[in-house]
């Protein structure tokens, strides 16, 4: 019941009054929603007449935004809309008709973000997942290259296995990249 309450925004006390069959249908719908994988990242969307854009430059991400995003990520079941309000900013047009993001002060559009579909939150997490995977793969490639260089420079230990290790690293990277593209 808590899952249905969290997804629907209906208090548990009201859900207790519903029929068992209605709750079962709602749980199935929630489970179907949770098993769907996000297909794409939403770079921008329109909500309540305003256009919101995902943070385009991490250099412009302030310490306050970072602290708020980290805090809101600590409990996404209750603060997902506030997390999204940090990641997406309203687009404004200045007096020279140039597009620019409104400066961040606090998550003032958080309540409006409650109306967003779950796919927007899933797409945001897809973005961070892909970044994390690329970072980890980069580290593994760097470590493998350093190990190969170290064994070649030292001319000792396992130099005869260097080509085998390079082939295995290449095969693993190729498999991993193919797996990410299939998602």
In the structure, what pLDDT confidence band is assigned to residue 182 with cuts at 50, 70 and 90?
low
With 0.85 as the threshold, say if the pTM is over it: no
- Tokens standing for residue 19: 């029929």
Distance CA 94, CA 71 (A): 31
Distance CA 149, CA 155 (A): 10
Q: Is the pLDDT of residue 179 over 70?
A: no
Crossing angle (nearest 10°) for helices 162-181 and 118-154: 170
User: What percent of the chain is modeled with pLDDT above 90?
Assistant: 0
Residue 99, C-beta contacts closer than 8 angstroms, at least 6 positions apart = 91, 92, 93
The rounded mean pLDDT for the chain is 76
Q: Is the pLDDT of residue 156 over 70?
A: no
pLDDT of amino acid 54: 82
For the chain, what percentages of helix, strand and coil (3-state, to nearest 5) are there?
A: 65, 10, 25
pLDDT of 108-120, one tens digit each? Answer: 778 888 877 777 7
Q: Rounded to 5 degrees, what are φ and ψ at 156?
A: -140, 175
In the structure, what pLDDT confidence band is assigned to residue 76 with cuts at 50, 70 and 90?
confident
Distance CA 179, CA 177 (A): 5
């Amino acid at each position: 019941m808590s899952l249905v309450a969290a997804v629907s925004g209906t208090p548990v006390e009201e859900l207790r009054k519903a029929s068992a069959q209605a709750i079962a249908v709602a749980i199935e719908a929630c489970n179907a929603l949770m098993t769907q994988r996000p297909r794409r990242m939403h770079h921008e969307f329109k909500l309540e007449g305003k256009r919101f854009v995902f943070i385009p430059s991490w250099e412009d991400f302030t310490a306050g935004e970072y602290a708020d995003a980290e805090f809101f990520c600590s409990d996404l079941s209750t603060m997902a809309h506030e997390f999204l309000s940090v990641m997406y900013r309203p687009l404004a047009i200045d007096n020279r008709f140039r597009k620019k993001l409104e400066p961040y002060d606090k998550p003032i559009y958080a309540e409006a973000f409650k109306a967003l579909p779950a796919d927007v939150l899933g797409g945001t997490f897809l973005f961070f997942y892909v970044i994390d995977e690329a970072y980890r793969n980069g580290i593994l490639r760097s470590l493998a290259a350093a190990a190969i260089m170290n064994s070649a420079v030292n001319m000792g230990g396992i130099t005869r296995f260097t080509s085998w290790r390079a082939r295995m690293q290449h095969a693993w990277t190729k498999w991993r990249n193919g797996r990410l593209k299939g998602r």
